Each structure stands twice: as C-alpha cells, then as structure tokens.
Amino acid sequence: MVEKATLNRERLLSRFLRYVQINTTANAQTDEYPSSAGQWQLGEILLAELNEIGADDVHVDSNALVWALIPGNVPDAETIAWNAHLDTSPETTGEHVQPQVIESYGGGDIVLPGDTSKVITVAESPELEALIGKTLITTDGTTLLGGDDKAGIAIIMESAQYLLDHPEIPHGPVRILFTCDEEIGRGINHVDMDKIGAVAAYTLDGGGAGDIDIETFSADGLKITVHGVNIHPSIAKDRMVNALRAAGALLERLPVDQAPETTSERVGFLHPYVVQGGVAEVVIDVLLRDFDTEQLQVKADLVAAIARDVEQDYPGITINIEHQKQYRNMADGLPVEPRAVKFAEQAHRELEVPVRLSSIRGGTDGSMLTEKGLPTPNLSSGQHMQHSPLEWACLDEMVLQGQVLIQTTMLWARNEN
C-alpha cells in the first residue's frame, strides 16, 4: 500500500457546502448557454479560488466555462484533464439549498428536517450500512443537494490545491475544466478540444467510492409536437381538434415495458418527461436511452409509427417529430487510450480501495468528450440518490476519491507499462 494524500477534509467539506448553496439549476427551456445565471456565479467563485491557490491559466471564457492548469513537474509527462459540471438537474429545485451535515452517522433511516415526510431509508440506499461512523451531507428535504456534480467540483478543487501545496509529488500537467449544462445534454457544446490539450481525462461525476464507469447509455431525444385546431368551445362542434386528447392517446400507447420505471440493468428505455401545451398545440419531450446505439433509431421509429396511428384516429391532428442526437456510449471510444482506465484501476489497488468497472444507466460529459476523441472514464465522487430531495453525499468517500485522483495523476507521470 502506498501513502495516501492527506487531503484537508474540513476544507473539502467547506467547499462543498459553499458550492451547493449556489442555485445552478439547468434550464432546458432556453437556448442560452449557460442556461442559468447561477452557473456564471459559481464559475466566478471558482475563478477566485483557483487564482488564490496558485493555478495557472485561470479564466472563465465567454461561455462560462472555467479553465485552469496545474503545471507539471515531471519533464515530458503527458497532460491529463479533470472535469466536473457546474449545473444541477432541473428535476428538483436547486434554489435555497440548506445542506445538513451528519457527523458520525449512527445508522438507520434519516428523516429530513425541512419536510419530515422525506426519509432517506436504508432500504432505498443500502450502501448506508457500510458508512456507519462516516460524515454524511443531506438536503433538508425541500430541494436537491447538488452533489451531482458539486461533489466532483469540490474534489477537483481540493485535489488541485493539494498538488500545488506539495510540489514534491511528481505529476504531469493537469488541465481543469468545469462545464455547464451537462444535465440537459449540452455540457461540451462550446468546449475547444484543442485547448484541453490532454491525452485522457476524468470526469468526477460518479456515485459511491470504488467505481470506474467505462460504459454509459447512448442517448437521443425526441421533441414531439402535436398540432390541433383551437376555437371557442361554444362554437367548437366539428371545428375544434383538441391536441391535448391526441397527445394523451400517444402517451397512452407508448410501451410500458420500455419505460425507465420498468427497466433495469442493460435494458434501455423510452421516457416522456415533459408535456406542455393546450388545445392548439402540445409539445412532448422524450428521452431515448440504450447501451446499443442502433436501438435508439428502433425506438424513434416505434414512436413515429404510434404518431401516425394517432393521426389516423384523430382527424385534423398533425404530429411532427424532431430527433435530436445527444451522446454516445463511452465504451466505444475508451479503447483508443487504454491507459485512462488502466491507471485509474491501478490507483485504486495501490491505495487498497476495492474497485469495480461499471456501466451506468445515464451519461456524463465524458461520454461526449470520449466521442470527440478524448477518452474520459467517469470516477466516483461520493454522491447518492441524485436529482431528488433524498440526495445525499458522503464526505469520507469524497476524500477517498481525491486520493484516488491524485494517485492516478501520479501514475500518468510514471507511465509504467
């Protein structure tokens, strides 16, 4: 076992608590990037902190992307990158987050103080059983926590400070990049890949300790627009064509056995998640997800066939479908640079941390970075029950992941075959 980096856990916790209280909820209903002002605000905070710890090339660009560089101290060592995202999921509000710190967790269910009907149960989070005595951070039950991905940001910031404070640790250059709007599939839309200048990268956007995500879903989206005809209901006979009724019929006909609530493991899904509109027009947003990229088109074709049937059954209705590519399974691109996974695995083993190569039913910025030629596996960051008021994080896992990140970075400098 090698000596672990002694990260400052109190400072790491302080960073995390500070970051989660900035509302950075992504907004898919705007085309602006970033989609929320809070991402600019958090970016400015990180800009100041990166300058304070002595990083190089610190700046926020015109798209609110935060950039920095930790210079290497090993001649000719290759550059790697660390990435996390500023935004949080729009599925639960991120406004007025009031984090709760539980020191020396004693076990059992956790009733949240802001809404006592919200309970983090051991049944739903069985990993709690292995964390007795650890420090947990929860919401108060009225918002999400934002551990996805502010836990990743805090780990990167503390790890960066550790390397800068300990010049005796051998490492190559490390490019730091904090992106925006990952939660709505736009995370690297404005990233200059040449500017990253790395041979591999790591997203810090995973769950509990010990996982290296090497496979993700491939993902597309559908925007279904149901067009009807609106007219005053007093004169509507034989003239009104109600888009709401047709949209309801379409939703009813989507296969239940392909829904996220009925699928697991390697089975993909078809997920309507937003419906907006009225009699004249209804817009339905649908997620398509599968580990097999070719199945995305199969799912899209199924929705198109259902739409045509609904048009036949509801005369006067027209349905348009816009198919949007999102991200692709990172497993397709990681073999281009096998050291990305190899060194992360080796770091876990050298630190005697159990490691598991895993597949996730979702995606990260690493999915798109990998597709663009920068192999980017996803590392754990101590976040659990993401996107919900039951979200929580474990400080001890965050500290451990910082140690893994630093050890991985040292291995790149050694570059042993």
List 290's β-bridge partners, or say none: 218
Quick one: residue 108, left, alpha or beta (phi over 0 = left, psi -120 to 50 = alpha)?
left
> Does the annotation count 87 as an active-site position?
yes
Sorted by sequence, the CB contacts under 8 Å of residue 374 that are 6+ apart come out as 81, 193, 196, 198, 200, 201
Q: Which listed residue (49, 181, 182, 183) is catalytic?
A: 182
Of 239, 230, 182, 237, nearest to 369 by C-alpha is: 182
User: With 0-12 CB in 10 A as exposed, 13-18 as middle and 19+ as buried, what is 104?
Assistant: exposed
Q: How many CB atoms lie within 10 A of CB 29?
A: 10
SS3 398: helix
Of 161, 177, 144, 158, nearest to 14 by C-alpha is: 158
Of 378, 332, 344, nearest to 148 by C-alpha is: 378
List 283's β-bridge partners, or say none: 225, 276
Q: Which listed residue (87, 158, 345, 397) is catalytic?
A: 87
> Does the annotation count 165 as an active-site position?
no
Q: Tell me how far apart the alpha carbons of residues 97 and 389 are, in angstroms, rounded to a whole number.
A: 10
Beta carbons of 178 and 44 less than 8 angstroms apart: no
Match 């899209």 to its residue by tokens: 300
Which helix (H) or strand (E) segment is 85 a member of? strand 80-85
Sorted by sequence, the CB contacts under 8 Å of residue 102 that are 6+ apart come out as 110, 135, 136, 137, 138
- The catalytic residues are 87, 182
